[in-house]
């Protein structure tokens, strides 16, 4: 009996997978799923379907993992090309203030992005600020980015770091609690020229084709 159940589940999984692949490859409606499947922040079948059914004004316009948490207003979040805060599991995105994520920025699992602190004299209230993460930056696993932090392009935040201040020049590696620069290339033009600003063949800001994103931003976002 156990063997029969095992093979039935295996058959169902294979059949379901092939069916979904056929749907994605056949119908233009699912083109974003097909075009982004090899991206750092791919658009998944179920997420895309839910977003299209509920509409553009329904909630976050980028994929978020079911085990990540989003608080605040999605309208306060600018998501760059192939960048999706919370697409990895265990992230906490608090967007009471504005959060700007640059193009191709990568955010690992269990990262916290906090745009507001509790007011010490009355913890029901918040002191709101904003966060800016530059393009092609990498926020390592378990890191915490606090309100007011600005990170320039090509900033690498080592795993487990707590970032309490800004590093706007970018082109550096920061680490620790509080995070400090451990490698700095920002004044070395010969090394900076070696950093690669790659481009995907198909570019999306979350679920939105990049060619349409400015119109979407003006209509829906606060940033």
- pLDDT, tens only, 104-135: 999 999 999 999 999 999 999 999 999 999 99
Output the CA torsion 67→68→69→74 (10° steps): -130
Ordered structural domains, the chain, with CATH: 65-220 (2.160.10.10)
Cβ contacts of 17 within 8 Å, gap of 6 or more: none
Q: Tell me, what's the pLDDT at 4?
A: 46
Low-confidence ranges of the chain (pLDDT < 70): 1-17, 19
Q: Tell me, what's the pLDDT at 29?
A: 84
Cβ contacts of 162 within 8 Å, gap of 6 or more: 143, 144, 146, 176, 177, 178, 179
Q: Tell me, what's the pLDDT at 1?
A: 52
> Which tokens sit at 176?
């620790």
Nearest to 210 by CA among 135, 137, 134, 103: 103
Q: Tell me, what's the pLDDT at 15?
A: 52
């Amino acid at each position: 009996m156990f063997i029969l159940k095992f093979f039935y589940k295996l058959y169902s999984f294979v059949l379901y997978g092939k069916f979904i692949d056929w749907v994605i490859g056949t119908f233009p409606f699912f083109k974003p799923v097909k075009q982004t499947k090899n991206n750092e922040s791919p658009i998944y079948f179920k997420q895309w379907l839910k977003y299209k059914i509920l509409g553009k004004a329904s909630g976050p316009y980028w994929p978020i993992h079911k085990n990540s948490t989003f608080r605040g207003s999605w309208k306060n979040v600018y998501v760059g090309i192939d960048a999706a805060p919370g697409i990895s599991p265990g992230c906490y995105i608090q967007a009471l203030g504005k959060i700007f994520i640059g193009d191709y920025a990568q955010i690992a699992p269990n990262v916290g992005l906090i745009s507001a602190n509790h007011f010490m004299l009355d913890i029901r209230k918040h002191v709101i600020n904003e966060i800016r993460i530059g393009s092609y930056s990498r926020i390592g696993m378990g890191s915490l980015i606090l309100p007011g932090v600005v990170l320039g392009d090509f900033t690498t935040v080592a795993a487990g770091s707590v970032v309490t201040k800004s590093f706007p020049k970018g082109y550096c590696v920061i680490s620790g609690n509080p995070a400090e620069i451990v490698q700095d290339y920002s004044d070395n033009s010969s090394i900076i020229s070696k950093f690669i600003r790659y481009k995907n063949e198909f570019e999306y800001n979350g679920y939105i084709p990049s060619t349409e994103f400015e119109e979407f931003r003006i209509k829906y976002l606060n940033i």
